[in-house]
Structure 1
Amino acid sequence: MRVRGLLERAVAEGVVPGLAFGLVRRGGEAFTLHLGLAQRVPEPEALTPRHLFDLASLTKPLFTLKEVLKAVEEGLLDLDDPLSQHLPELLWLKDHPLKGVSLRALLAHTSGLPAWEALYALGEGEALKQRLLQHPWPLGEPTYSDIGYMLLGLVLERVRGRPLAAFPLPQGFSFRPPRELAVATEACPWRGRVLKGEVHDENAYALGGAAGHAGLFGTLEGVLGELRAILEGTWLSPAAMEEMLRPHGDRLLSWERKRPGWWGGSLASERAFGHTGFTGVAVLVEPERGYAWALLTNAVHPTRHRPSLHPLRRAVGNSVAAEVGP
């Protein structure tokens, strides 16, 4: 594929230390490619198909969205349930609009919750979960929100009666990957070490390593398996898939839709959707054209202070769209 040249150049020019790229077609074969390094420092380590990437915010659609919709299918949740129905201790001394925010609004990032806060500086573990529940979060204009997905993670733990790290996962995924098979991320100033096999996101780490917004690790093969299931309509029930694909502004539930200047490229179809993650990962699904691709990188290794990956992602998206065709 012509995309190979783009990716080989990105590694050779140091845009990313290493990458895994894969393309799947509905009912067809997959194309995969692994290039560069799983780790630059302290010693170079070649990237292999067995390596698991820190999927960062891909946790939101590939884990949290899927698990919420599975719980809806089983009658444990409804998308229009207010948050307080499942977290009754939420702001228990205050009459706050957050209590009435629906699970749907959290999934679609329409709740008005803030995007992010340095919660990891306030505590860890169960104490931090209680801080998350008792903080009087301000509600403003709708924005992409990690906070909303942290709360969804707590809802899932409550209805399943187990921590997120104990949820069963498809083959190729883990919340606790073996260190020797994990792709390195940042030389973290806060933790004082190169992160390998532990989640890069500080808030997810403080919450125990697995959270609704981040914490999932995956191989390229595992991610492509999920994308193929989405393409073929077997990821969830037909009713749940239909609900997932219902537009909510410039988003679906969890997923981003194509819009002007989108990272997925201008040649993506109008029904294309996808998601990115801070560590340097991205997936894109073309339901009408019948293909999907994943680009997994360790762009934050050894530092997060690097140029945007949007130009590379746009180039990949346009190259694939042009070659695969309508």
Structure 2
Amino acid sequence: MPLTDLIEQAFAPATEALRGDNIPGAVLGIVTADGTRAVRWAGWAQIEPEREPISRDTVFDLASLTKVIFTTTTILRLVEQGRIGLDDPLTVAIPDLRQYDMDAAERHLTFRQCLAHQTHLPAVEPLYTYGQDPDTLRAFILQRVWRSGPPVYSDINFMLLGIAIERITGTPLIEQPLPGGFTFRPDPCLCAATERCTWRGRVIRGEVHDENAFALGGASGHAGLFGTIDAVLDFARSILDGSALSAESLKAIRTRESDKRTVGWEGFYAGWHGGDACSPTTIGHTGFTGTGLWLDFERGLAWSLLTNRVHPTRHKDTGIMPLRRATGEAVIALFDQNRRS
């Protein structure tokens, strides 16, 4: 069975979600390590203020996929270049981090700890409510006495990593070079719409949905990247075939730093968002706007489901978790069946 036939069947959970008006639109892409791919799409890129159909070329706000596609990959390449060490403290790149307290816990955080979410930093903070001057907000992030707690999945970790990338490269995140199909500055007319934002007073389209990333200038280490399904699949294939990173870096993103986390990514566990049919070495990540990417190394298979599930509001049960799981399980079941036949 060719991938084009397989994807028609694997898209069935998304079709049901679209039929039930749980999500406006969806694009599913599958790619193998040898580059074979298939893409299926349906629904709407925007339903208000007026309807516009989705397409293969629709540009999505990738949300927290920014963490793995851009930030993690960039940090690991800087390690490969010898410009930093994975176990170096952030202060190697950001010497003014908590500069008024040389014993502050933040000054001891390493790149590895932030990438693997093994820090004391909180999950999220409404930084945008403190103002919208990006330079001042960056200074606030660096000097804030953060409340301490157990390790959690934290946007703050990746905000710090984004600032480190800017310091090391001397280039603002929004101006960083990106592979084709990715951008921090999309054409709104090409984008899937996200939320009707009460803070900004409009339907968000072509600007980052995440309020903190918006206040930081449109791009941050945790959010701000936009891309098409084919750009995401190109990235996934480059990880699967080993061309994106060195062997040591690939080992890092596949090796557990905790029960659920590797360097940058989340590793398979029972009940996770990628479905229980994944091989144990599968890694994946999701984005708040309704995006997701999974790489099953044993099968040489990756798939990405991109939706705009927060359009026009996040305050609705869209069933995104069961949709992601059902899609992953369908992709793998059909792929395995195809290999056996």
The two structures share one fold, judged by TM-score above 0.5: yes
| One of 150, 156, 165 as aligned partner of 2:174 | 165
CA–CA separation in structure 2 for the residues paired with 1:28 and 1:82: 38
Structure 1's unaligned 5+ residue stretches are: none
Match in the other structure for 1:176: 185
Contact 1:98 / 1:139 at 8 angstroms: preserved in 2? no
Match in the other structure for 2:131: 123
CA–CA separation in structure 1 for the residues paired with 2:56 and 2:333: 27
Q: 1:281 to 1:17 in 2, by over 3 A?
A: same
- Secondary structure of 1:31 counterpart: strand
CA shift at 1:321, angstroms? Answer: 1.2
Contact 2:11 / 2:327 at 8 angstroms: preserved in 1? no
Task: Name the amino acid aligned to 1:287.
Answer: F
Match in the other structure for 1:82: 89
- Secondary structure of 1:99 counterpart: helix
Contact 1:18 / 1:47 at 8 angstroms: preserved in 2? yes
* 1:108 lines up with 2:119 in the alignment: no
Task: Name the amino acid aligned to 2:179.
Answer: P
Contact 2:191 / 2:206 at 8 angstroms: preserved in 1? yes
CA–CA separation in structure 1 for the residues paired with 2:257 and 2:213: 26
CA shift at 1:91, angstroms? Answer: 1.3
| One of 275, 290, 297 as aligned partner of 1:280 | 290
* 1:324 lines up with 2:324 in the alignment: no
Q: Pairwise CA RMSD of aligned residues?
A: 1.1
Match in the other structure for 1:225: 234
Match in the other structure for 1:198: 207
What TM-score, normalized to structure 1?
0.98
Show CA shifts across 1:202-229 (max 9, x none). Answer: 0000000000000000000000000011
What TM-score, normalized to structure 2?
0.94
CA shift at 1:28, angstroms? Answer: 4.5
CA–CA separation in structure 2 for the residues paired with 1:64 and 1:293: 20
Show CA shifts across 1:101-152 (max 9, x none). Answer: 1010000000121100000001221000000001011232111000010000
Match in the other structure for 1:189: 198
* 1:254 lines up with 2:264 in the alignment: yes
CA–CA separation in structure 2 for the residues paired with 1:74 and 1:112: 29
* 1:31 lines up with 2:38 in the alignment: yes
Task: Name the amino acid aligned to 1:128.
Answer: L
Overall identity of the aligned pairs, in %: 46
Give the stretch that moved more between structures: 135-144 or 276-285: 135-144
Task: Name the amino acid aligned to 1:289.
Answer: R
CA shift at 1:4, angstroms? Answer: 2.5
Show CA shifts across 1:52-85 (max 9, x none). Answer: 1000000000000000011111111111111122
CA–CA separation in structure 1 for the residues paired with 2:298 and 2:176: 32
- Secondary structure of 2:43 counterpart: strand
Give the stretch that moved more between structures: 183-192 or 138-147: 138-147
1:241-320 to 2 correspondences below 5 Å: 241-249=250-258, 250-307=260-317, 308-320=319-331
CA–CA separation in structure 2 for the residues paired with 1:154 and 1:43: 38
| One of 39, 49, 60 as aligned partner of 1:53 | 60
- Secondary structure of 2:255 counterpart: coil
CA–CA separation in structure 2 for the residues paired with 1:208 and 1:145: 20
Contact 2:254 / 2:267 at 8 angstroms: preserved in 1? no
Match in the other structure for 2:3: none
Structure 2's unaligned 5+ residue stretches are: 1-5
CA–CA separation in structure 1 for the residues paired with 2:57 and 2:273: 27
- Secondary structure of 1:56 counterpart: coil
CA–CA separation in structure 1 for the residues paired with 2:111 and 2:249: 14
Task: Name the amino acid aligned to 1:75.
Answer: G
Match in the other structure for 1:3: 10
CA shift at 1:25, angstroms? Answer: 1.1
